């Protein structure tokens, strides 16, 4: 990993709040994107004739964001979504969390993990001494399936290139897959999360660790200890040179 990665100072940005299109803010510093949010109608594709060479990670990620937000490959999702939930966080993050798909609250706000499960994820992140501004959070699917149904295989294939480019641009040291669905999609396996957690996998230049989804923990709090073990493993990986 680049030695000059910086960590923004901790603040109260983990508190969820509705962000309207008018109040949209590309909260961009040299290395961070606090709220990557845009409504599909406002998205603009990068000019193919600009002749520009590959820019900084920030510029490339913003181009990818605009392409993602204007995507209509999945016609049902494009016609029923309120927002495309591209992701949010530090674009130089050493740790990246990947969940399944946006829920109703994420679809309204255009930000990942802002409901009750998101509040628990914030606590999980803070348990290893980090904040949401120091990590990047995304989903395997960028649009909410109607009625929260399971994502379809063709939808996952359509969204996969966006996720792969996110990972390749951010270049995290560690990726944490949240829940069975995300773990199975990333690893191309049918094994349940109970068999995948506790291990680490090489994945697109990062170490991939799987753990239970925060929404699962809300229903099964007795498994929080297992997630704590997984997070300690992630912390050890982050501390390795």
Walk along the chain (241 residues) in steps of 10 and give the mean pLDDT of each run: 39 33 30 34 30 64 95 96 96 96 95 95 97 96 94 95 96 97 96 95 98 97 97 96 85
As a whole number of Å, the end-to-end CA separation of the chain is 9
Please check whether residue 96 is in contact with residue 170, taking contact to mean a CB–CB distance below 8 angstroms. yes
Q: Quick one: CA torsion of 87, 225, 193, 144, rounded to 10 degrees? A: -30
Q: Is 90 helix (H, G, I), strand (E, B) or coil?
A: strand
Burial environment of residue 240 by CB neighbours within 10 A (0 to 12, 13 to 18, 19 or more): exposed
DSSP 8-state symbol, 7 = -
User: Alpha-carbon distance 151 to 25, whole Å?
Assistant: 29
pTM: 0.78
SS3 content of the chain, % helix, strand, coil (to 5): 40, 10, 45
The pLDDT of residue 222: 96
Q: Is 202 helix (H, G, I), strand (E, B) or coil?
A: strand
φ/ψ of residue 60, rounded to 5 = -70, -35
Distance CA 106, CA 100 (A): 12
Question: Sign of the CA dihedral 64, 138, 165, 92?
Answer: positive
Q: Identify the pLDDT of residue 142.
A: 97
pLDDT, position 28? 29
- Identify the pLDDT of residue 23: 31
- Give me the DSSP letters along 119-170: HHHHHHHHTTT--GGGSEEEESSSSPPGGGPPPPHHHHHHHHHHHHHHHHHH
Residue the block writes with tokens 């181009």: 63
- The confidence score (pLDDT) of residue 7 equals 36
Instruction: Determine how β-strand 200-203 pairs with β-strand 206-211.
Output: antiparallel
The per-residue pLDDT for 212 is 98
How far apart CA 112 and CA 151 sit, in angstroms, is: 16
Distance from C-alpha of 39 to C-alpha of 20, rounded to nearest angstrom: 9
Largest CA distance in the chain: 55
Residue-level pLDDT at 8 = 35
Domains of the chain: 32-239 (3.40.470.10)
User: Could you tell me the two tokens for 18?
Assistant: 């509705």
């Amino acid at each position: 990993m680049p030695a000059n990665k910086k960590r923004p100072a901790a603040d109260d940005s983990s508190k969820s709040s509705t962000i309207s299109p008018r109040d949209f803010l590309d909260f961009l510093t040299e290395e961070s994107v606090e709220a990557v949010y845009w409504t599909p109608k406002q998205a603009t594709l990068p000019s193919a004739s600009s002749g520009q060479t590959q820019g900084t990670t920030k510029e490339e990620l913003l181009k990818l964001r605009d392409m993602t937000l204007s995507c209509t490959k999945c016609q049902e999702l494009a016609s029923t979504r309120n927002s495309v939930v591209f992701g949010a966080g530090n674009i130089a993050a050493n740790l990246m969390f990947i969940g399944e798909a946006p829920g109703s609250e994420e679809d309204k706000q255009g930000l990942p993990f802002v409901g009750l499960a998101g509040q628990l994820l914030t606590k999980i992140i803070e348990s290893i001494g980090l904040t949401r501004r120091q990590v990047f959070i995304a989903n395997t699917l960028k649009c909410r399936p109607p009625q929260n149904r399971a994502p379809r295989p063709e939808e996952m294939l359509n969204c996969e290139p966006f996720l792969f480019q996110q990972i390749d641009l951010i270049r995290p040291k560690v990726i944490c897959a949240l829940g069975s669905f995300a773990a199975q999609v990333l690893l191309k396996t049918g094994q349940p999360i109970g068999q995948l957690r506790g291990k680490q996998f090489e994945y697109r230049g990062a170490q991939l660790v799987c753990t239970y989804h925060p929404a699962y923990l809300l229903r099964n709090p007795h498994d929080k200890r297992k997630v704590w073990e997984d997070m300690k493993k992630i912390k050890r990986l982050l501390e390795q040179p």
